[in-house]
Amino acid sequence: MSNATCSFHDRRIHRFAATILAAATGLTLLAAAPASAGEPVRVFASAAVGVDLKDVPTMRVVLRPSLMNGRGGSTGFANRGPGCPMTTSSHTNPDPYFSGGTYIAQAGFGEMEIAAASYTLAASAFPIKLNLAEFILVTSGASTQTVTEWSFLVWDGPPNTGTLVATYSSDDVILPHARVGPGTAGINIQVSVDPQDPEQIFVNDVSGTHRFTIGFRIDRHHNQTVSACTQGPPPQSNAFPATDTGGLQNGANNWLFGLNCGVFGCPANGGWATFNALNIFCRPSGDWVMRATWESVNCAPPLGACCTNGTCTVNLATACLGAGVYQGDNTTCVSVVCPAPTGACCFSNGTCQTRTAASCAGFSGTYGGNGLACTAGGLCPTGACCLSNGNCTAAQLATQCSAAGGTLQAIGSTCSPNPCPQPTGACCFSSTGFCSLELSANCNIPGTVFGGNGSVCSAATCPNTGACCFNGFCNIETGSSCTGIPGATFQGIGTLCNPDPCSVATGACCCGATCSITTSAACVGTSTRFAGNGTVCNAAINSTSPCCKADYNQGGTLGVQDIFDFLTGYFTADGCADLNGNGVSVQDIFDYLSAYFSGGC
C-alpha cells in the first residue's frame, strides 16, 4: 500500500481512517451512496433491493498442475488414507464470512501487492497436501463489472523467509480472471487441486517452522489509473481483498506485501510485514478473509469402539462395519456399553418370543441365535436340517442344526420329501485309473472302488500311475507313458518303486582265473561261468569256490589244457589271466601254477 503522511493528505490515509471509524461505529455501506475505500461492505443473507446481496457467489478454480508447466506442484506422496481427514485453517472471525457477512474492503491495495496468512501446525502433521484455498474479493459501489487478474501463492514457512513452493496466475484460459460487480458485490475465489492429478501441492516443513502460508496477489486491477503510491485505485471501478469486522485477532500471522513507496509507505520501503508491524494509519482492523483446507500425508487411521453381539472391541471403522456397529472415532470400551443381542426364544409349546440368550434360558426356552426373528405368527423359526450324509432332521432351529454339523434349509421347510443333497464320492476304475464322482450306490460296477462320501478324484484316491521298469531302473509313470518307452515294462496301477520291482539279480561271474559280480546275461564269453544269482566272489585266501581259479577254461575239471589256456591268456594280456588283481605280470604265472598244483577243485 502507498506511503502517506498527514501533511500529504493522501486519500488512502483518509480511507483507512474511514475504515477504522466505520468499524468502531458499526456503519455499513449502502449501495445507494458510493462509499470511500476502506469502508465496510455488507452482504446480507436476505436481499434488499439495490442494496444487499443474498450471498457471496463462489468462483471454483480447479488446478491441474501436471498440465500447467512451470507453475508448481510436485509428486512423491500417496493420496491420504482413511485416517487422514481434511482440516481447515483460518484466522477469519466469524467463519460465515465465506458465504456472506460484513467486510472491510482494503481499497488502498495496489497492483502486485499480496495479502497472505500463515498457519502453524503440529510438527507431526507434516508433510501436508494443500487441497483448497479461499479468498474474498469485493467491490464497493462499483459503476461497472470489474475484471481482476490475480495469482495464488503457497510458501513452506512464513512468506518473508520461507520457500515459495507453488504459484498459479489467472490467464482467462486455464484459470479465469475474477469478475465482480457492478455495485456492492463480492466473490469467493476457491482454488482447489484436482485430486486425480499426478502432481499436488505438498508442504514438507523444510523451513522447520511448522508453518505454511497462502497468499493472494492482484496482478492487474480493472482500472488502476496511476501508481498506488500516490493515489489508491478508484473504488468505483476496482475490486479489493477484504478483512473481517471481528477485530484483528492474529496480527502476527496476517501479512501484507506492499509496494516500495519509501519510508512512509505501508510498510516502510515496501516488502513483507505482519499486520502487527504496520503503523496504526495503515494497519487493517481485522484479519484477512481467507482460509486453507489441507490434509496430512502420513497418519494412522483412527480406532473406535465396535459392538458385536454385545461384545465391545476397539477396531478400525472399516473392520467393524458389517460384523458390528461402530461407535465413532476415538471411542473406547470404557465409555461404551454394548447392548446384549436378542434373537428368537422358542418354548416347548411351539411359541416364540424375542429375548436375549440369558433371558431365554431363564424362562427355560431354546435360544435360536442372535438376530433370528420369530415368524409372523409368533412361532419358532424352524426348518429342515440337512446333514452331511444326506439325512434330514425336521423342525430344527439354526443353532440346533449348526451344532449337529448340518445346514438349515428355509424356515418352514420339512423333510418330506427329503430336500437334502445326497453325498457323492470318487468312483475309481482300478484297471484304467479313470475316476468320476458318483453316489455310493452307483459305484457298483465290477472293478470299481468307492473312495467314500465327500472324497474327490485325485491321484491319492484314484491313482492312474504305477511302477515302470526300464534297464533295471524304476520310475512312476502312467501306463500309456511307460508302454511308449521301448523295452519298458509297466508293473500295474498303484504299484510302487519301493520295494523296487525292477532290480536285476546278480551273482559271481568266473572268468579264467578271476571273479566279478554281474548279471547272468552279462556273464558270457570264452572261459566264463556264472556261479548263480546271489553268489559272491571268493574270499581273499580262497582259490576254489565259487570260482576255481585253476580251472582256467571253466570246464569243470582240472587238466593240462587249463595251463595252456592260461598261458594263452597271459601272453595276450587277457584280463581273465590277472589272478592276483594287480595287472597281468610274471607273478600271475607263479600264482596260477601254485593254485593248479594245490588242486581242491
CA distance 271 to 258: 5
Residue 321 lies in a domain: no
Within 10 angstroms of residue 405's Cβ, the number of other Cβ atoms is: 10
Instruction: Give the residue carrying C-alpha cell 502476527.
Output: 252
Residue 335 lies in a domain: no
Give tens-digit pLDDT for 426-474.
Answer: 998 876 778 889 998 899 888 788 888 888 888 777 777 888 998 888 9
Residue 319 lies in a domain: no
CA distance 234 to 223: 7
Give tens-digit pLDDT for 338-388.
Answer: 999 999 999 988 899 999 999 999 999 999 888 889 988 888 999 999 998
Residue 250 lies in a domain: yes
Residues 487, 561 within the same domain: no
Looking at residue 14, its pLDDT comes to 31
Residues 582, 474 within the same domain: no
Domain boundary among the residues 441, 459, 493 is at 493
Residues 214, 166 within the same domain: yes
Instruction: Give SS3 for 121.
Output: coil
Residues 274, 381 within the same domain: no
Residue 448 lies in a domain: yes
Residues 365, 446 within the same domain: no
Looking at residue 48, its pLDDT comes to 17
Torsion sign, CA atoms 257, 176, 212, 290: positive
Q: Identify the DSSP state of 423.
A: P
Residues 456, 522 within the same domain: no
CA distance 165 to 187: 26
Residues 283, 371 within the same domain: no
Looking at residue 326, its pLDDT comes to 94
Residue 104 · residue 19 · CB < 8 Å: yes
Looking at residue 11, its pLDDT comes to 30
CA distance 50 to 510: 132
How many Å separate Cα 403 from the centre of its chain? 38
Residues 63, 165 within the same domain: yes
Domain boundary among the residues 274, 296, 318 is at 296
Looking at residue 533, its pLDDT comes to 86
Looking at residue 71, its pLDDT comes to 52
- pLDDT more than 90, % of the chain: 52
Torsion sign, CA atoms 88, 91, 95, 98: negative
Give tens-digit pLDDT for 190-218.
Answer: 999 998 888 899 999 999 999 999 999 99
- Residue 521 sits in which domain range? 508-598
Domain boundary among the residues 411, 442, 462 is at 411
Domain count, the chain: 4
Torsion sign, CA atoms 487, 493, 497, 502: negative
Residues 43, 114 within the same domain: yes
Looking at residue 83, its pLDDT comes to 53
Looking at residue 376, its pLDDT comes to 84
**Read out DSSP for 514-577?**
EEEEE-TTT--STTEEEEEET--PPPTT-SSSSS-TT-TT-SSS--HHHHHHHHHHHHTT-GGG
Within 10 angstroms of residue 106's Cβ, the number of other Cβ atoms is: 26
Low-confidence ranges of the chain (pLDDT < 70): 1-54, 68-83, 94-96, 431
Looking at residue 91, its pLDDT comes to 93
Residue 267 lies in a domain: yes
CA distance 121 to 292: 12
